[in-house]
Amino acid sequence: MVEPFTRLRSVVGDKTAKVLESAFGMVVVDDLLRHYPRRYVGIGELSDLSTLGVGQYATIMARVVSAENRSFGPGGKKVRTEVVVTDGTGQLTLTFFQQRWRQKQLAPGTVGLFAGEVGEFRGKLQLTHPVYEPVESEDGPAEDSRLARGIIPIYPATAKLPTWGVERAVEQCLTVVDLDDDPLPDDVRDARGLPGVAEAFEGIHRPRAKEQWQQARDRFRFEEAFVLQTVFAQRRHALERDPATARPAVAGGLRERFAERLPFVLTDGQKEVAEAIGSDLERTHPMHRLLQGEVGSGKTVVALLAMLQVVDTGGQAALLAPTEVLASQHHRAITGLLGDLAQGGMLGGADGATRVQLLTGSLGAKARKEALDDAASGEAGIVVGTHALIQEHVTFDDLGLLVVDEQHRFGVEQRSALVDRSEVKPHVLVMTATPIPRTVAMTVFGDLETSTLRELPAGRKPIQTTVVPAAERPAWMDRAWERVREEVDGGRQAYVVVSRIGVADESEDKETRSLLDVHAELAAGPLSGLRLGILHGRLPPDEKDATMNAFAAGDLDVLVATTVVEVGVDVPNATVMVVMDADRFGVSQLHQLRGRVGRGSEPGLCLLVTASDPDSPARERLAAVAASTDGFELSRLDVEMRHEGDVLGARQSGVRSSLRLLSVVRHEDVIVDARNASQDVVAADPSLAEHPALAAAVRALEETERADYLERT
């Protein structure tokens, strides 16, 4: 017997193992056993030859009477093997094309099982290319024969290893693998009436009835959810044990003074979440919280309150943003909101004021040194930055809180890079503006507590969204540019979003309009005379910054940009957005994009330009975006329409590859059930000492996740 984590090579041989590894990345026996059939083909009950009818799918057991190779076709180059069989009740012809060797295999006297659809040729019944399996004795098929079982598994396969090759390798593994230890604890399994692991592998690979593979599937689906949730339950449990510095609110501190001078009233949601975070920070264990909130729901202020609470206790806070544009925008916004509270050590600074530093890859040497020094000495209470915060040797005097904005761009590992470096773990707040359906949050961010901001600050005008079918109604396009002009004439600003840049890049989709083309056309045509700016990811960072700053300051009227404006860019004076080739963007992405307009007191307008067909699914998606402003509803829709992998995101591909039967879209109940069950198991046995097979499965999953991360950096 071998363990499930034994190398495949030692069971199926070098050659097959190599194919399995290169085609599917399989390394150990367990990998192959979890390579489940795509579908099953039923082959029916054994039939009598005397009762066969045309069109019937039949399995017969019969003895070969004769087998002849016959030539046919031009020049007699093709060969057809005609095999006549009998079962005593009648005769039947089997035909195989281009399989000369069948003649030898099916020598007269051979007894076998044949399965296929009954056809007719020249008035006689026949089976063409039936499935064939030899039978050792005439008493009946060997006990284990798949024909006798009546169900043939069909595997994901490759040219080098067709489905029956996979099937054979699986059988080899099943006969030698030791499946005494079940990753699912007995009581968890029994409570749900799920089969044990050995029975389930048998049921999924060699079922004798449909119910068997169905039950096996249910079990493995639950197991996938359960192992993943156990990883998270253990992480949460460990965090509960980790020490952290308590950061209680300080009366008369910066947080309080800032709250008093806020230029607006916090929404109820903001108050509630700010309080929850505030009390998390008072605990002596690190907070690990995910804050989801509609675009424009005001997450930054909530985070700022938390950061100030930490600063009040003498600690520091770091705010990690995914792009330079966002980092400097946050820096600008926070400095602006804090006013003299952020002018520590400066003339005019308030009593007890702190400092807010920006740290990005593109800083000049002097600015960088100042930021680094202030972070290290503790002078800077708040440091805002990009990846540079993680990658460089940044030290903090006393990092108490890490805020990660727009989480989906960062992996778990990147979060921990900064956290693990600190002697005492800081509290962590993760913010995302992409509303995540509950199951996805549980699957991808299962180690975080979740808070949600559902309402927008009062006085926000809803964004009006209209689809502009450029091909059918060219006049609408002209009207769109007119609208942009009108807004600009009224002192407001606009975005034009395009799907690609247009510099030489083979991978670009040439069907769409490029940024450079659109910019040139607009400048020469409908928007001539307006101040147009260009923003995309390949510009040098200082140029990006300059453009963004100019737009924010109102020195540009229209920003022609790629999706770099998608996340978090906040220019309240921008009121209209035109999205070119809108069908190229996902539903949630469009929702994100349009969140850039209507952030001030003026209503926002979003025009989705498309050349897609009126009845196409693409057009339907755009109509859905135009019809709803509820980000959660749209994200559910998005999840339904996209592939699982896109939903989980590239960063989460370690998790993704472990989910074979579980869908975060369709199996919400399974995920919730598994989460509760794993929570109980981990609470009772945190190190899983009583559950070695579960512990091994958890380790294996964590290793894939890690390996995946290493590959990506």
Applying CB under 6 A, among 229, 267, 592, 635 the residue interacting with ligand ADP is 267
Using the contact rule CB under 6 A, the part of the chain among 258-266, 420-428, 472-480, 488-496 near ligand ADP is 258-266
- Minimal distance, residue 563 CB to Mg ion, in Å: 15
452: nearest Cα among 436, 428, 475? 436
Q: Is the dihedral of CA 163, 164, 170, 174 positive or negative?
A: positive
What is the number of the residue whose Cβ is closest to Mg ion? 568
- Minimal distance, residue 453 CB to ligand ADP, in Å: 7
Specify the residue, 403 or 662, whose C-beta has the smaller distance to ligand ADP.
Answer: 403
Applying CB under 6 A, among 312, 557, 570, 602 the residue interacting with ligand ADP is 570
Our finding on whether 338 is near ligand ADP (CB under 6 A) is no
Using the contact rule CB under 5 A, the part of the chain among 473-481, 560-568, 650-658, 693-701 near Mg ion is 560-568
In this structure, what DSSP letter does residue 140 have? B
Applying CB under 6 A, among 112, 150, 293, 654 the residue interacting with ligand ADP is 293
- Minimal distance, residue 298 CB to Mg ion, in Å: 8
In the block, tokens 């035109």 appear at: 578
- Minimal distance, residue 156 CB to Mg ion, in Å: 41
Our finding on whether 299 is near ligand ADP (CB under 6 A) is yes
Specify the residue, 291 or 353, whose C-beta has the smaller distance to ligand ADP.
Answer: 291
Q: Which does 457 bind (CB under 5 to 8 A by kind): ligand ADP, Mg ion, none?
A: ligand ADP
Tokens of 52: 């066969």
Contact present, 470 and 611 (Cβ < 8 Å):
yes
Our finding on whether 400 is near ligand ADP (CB under 6 A) is no
**Cα distance between residue 236 and residue 281, in whole Å:** 16
Q: Which does 295 bind (CB under 5 to 8 A by kind): ligand ADP, Mg ion, none?
A: ligand ADP
Q: Which helix (H) or strand (E) holds 168?
A: helix 163-176
Our finding on whether 264 is near ligand ADP (CB under 6 A) is yes
Specify the residue, 451 or 678, whose C-beta has the smaller distance to Mg ion.
Answer: 451
Q: What single string gives the DSSP state of each residue in 410-477?
A: S-HHHHHHHHHHSSSPPEEEEEESS---HHHHHHHSTTSEEEEE-SPPTTPPPPEEEEEETTT-HHHH
Binding flags for ligand ADP, 440-459, as an x/- string (CB under 6 A): -----------------x--
Specify the residue, 599 or 667, whose C-beta has the smaller distance to ligand ADP.
Answer: 599
- Minimal distance, residue 304 CB to ligand ADP, in Å: 9
Long-range CB contact pairs, 54-59, < 8 A, 24+ = 54/118, 54/119, 54/120, 54/125, 55/117, 55/118, 56/117, 56/118, 57/115, 57/116, 57/117, 57/118, 58/115, 58/116, 58/117, 58/118, 58/127, 59/113, 59/114, 59/115, 59/147, 59/150
Q: Is the dihedral of CA 423, 426, 432, 438 positive or negative?
A: positive
Our finding on whether 568 is near Mg ion (CB under 5 A) is yes
**Cα distance between residue 5 and residue 29, in whole Å:** 6
Using the contact rule CB under 6 A, the part of the chain among 142-150, 262-270, 350-358, 422-430 near ligand ADP is 262-270
Applying CB under 6 A, among 47, 297, 414, 451 the residue interacting with ligand ADP is 297
Applying CB under 6 A, among 142, 154, 250, 266 the residue interacting with ligand ADP is 266
**Cα distance between residue 374 and residue 397, in whole Å:** 9
Using the contact rule CB under 6 A, the part of the chain among 12-20, 289-297, 342-350, 519-527 near ligand ADP is 289-297
198: nearest Cα among 222, 173, 221? 173
In this structure, what DSSP letter does residue 177 have? B
Binding flags for ligand ADP, 592-621, as an x/- string (CB under 6 A): -------x----------------------
Using the contact rule CB under 6 A, the part of the chain among 97-105, 292-300, 391-399, 486-494 near ligand ADP is 292-300
**Cα distance between residue 459 and residue 253, in whole Å:** 30
- Minimal distance, residue 299 CB to ligand ADP, in Å: 4
Specify the residue, 46 or 337, whose C-beta has the smaller distance to ligand ADP.
Answer: 337
Our finding on whether 295 is near ligand ADP (CB under 6 A) is yes
Using the contact rule CB under 6 A, the part of the chain among 149-157, 291-299, 372-380, 675-683 near ligand ADP is 291-299
Our finding on whether 270 is near ligand ADP (CB under 6 A) is yes
Residues in 63-102 at the binding interface with ligand ADP, rule: CB under 6 A: none
Residues in 455-484 at the binding interface with ligand ADP, rule: CB under 6 A: 457
- Minimal distance, residue 319 CB to ligand ADP, in Å: 12
- Minimal distance, residue 322 CB to ligand ADP, in Å: 13
Largest CA distance in the chain: 108
* Alpha-carbon torsion, ordered 281, 287, 292, 295, to 10 deg: 50
Contact present, 383 and 316 (Cβ < 8 Å):
yes
Residue 528: is it exposed, middle or buried by C-beta count within 10 angstroms (0-12/13-18/19+)? exposed
3-state secondary structure of 46: strand
Applying CB under 6 A, among 153, 207, 298, 502 the residue interacting with ligand ADP is 298
Q: Which does 264 bind (CB under 5 to 8 A by kind): Mg ion, ligand ADP, none?
A: ligand ADP
**Cα distance between residue 431 and residue 451, in whole Å:** 10
Contacts of 160 (CB under 8 A, 6+ apart): 19, 23
Our finding on whether 165 is near ligand ADP (CB under 6 A) is no
Question: How far lies 469's CA from each of 189, 406, 482, 549, 625, in Å?
Answer: 54, 32, 16, 33, 14
Q: Which does 599 bind (CB under 5 to 8 A by kind): Mg ion, ligand ADP, none?
A: ligand ADP
List b or e across 201-215, with b for residues whose CB sees 16 or more CB atoms inside 10 angstroms.
bbbbbbbeeeebbeb
In this structure, what DSSP letter does residue 42 have? E
Tokens of 258: 């800032």
Our finding on whether 269 is near ligand ADP (CB under 6 A) is no
Applying CB under 6 A, among 28, 389, 433, 674 the residue interacting with ligand ADP is 433
Tokens of 461: 């005008």
Contacts of 705 (CB under 8 A, 6+ apart): 412, 654, 655
Our finding on whether 195 is near ligand ADP (CB under 6 A) is no
Binding site for Mg ion (CB under 5 A): 568
By CB under 6 A, name the binding residues for ligand ADP.
Answer: 264-267, 270, 293, 295-301, 433, 457, 568, 570, 572, 599
